[in-house]
Amino acid sequence: METIRLSIAGREYPLSAPAHEVESLRQAADAINAQFDAFRQQFQVEDPVDLLAMTALQLTASGHDRKVDTSPTLTDESLKQIEHLRQRIHKVLEI
């Protein structure tokens, strides 16, 4: 396991992940940030909760057509970490 720090929407989040997943997590964070910034500029919305919700919807909808990766790399532990990160983001943005 590696500990990395991902910056999402201007906030940093520490995350532990298997070494083989680190690069894909960084790429995912980059995609989130790119879409987040695009929405902020396009709609001039400043509320990060709204922007993150719009980003989540866009990225989920655009990935919905793709074949779901059922390879064993997405483990129960990975899903727990993703859920933990989602809860932390939600908690921080509730301010």
Q: How far apart are CA 81 and CA 15, in angstroms?
A: 8
Sign of the alpha-carbon torsion through 67, 72, 73, 76: positive
Position 83 scores a pLDDT of 77
Q: pTM for the complete prediction?
A: 0.66
Position 36 scores a pLDDT of 93
- In degrees and rounded to multiples of 5, residue 45 shows phi and psi of -95, 135
- Cβ proximity of 93 and 49 under 8 Å: yes
Q: How far apart are CA 52 and CA 39, in angstroms?
A: 9
Residues of the chain with pLDDT under 50: 67-68, 70
Domain boundaries, the chain: 2-53+75-93
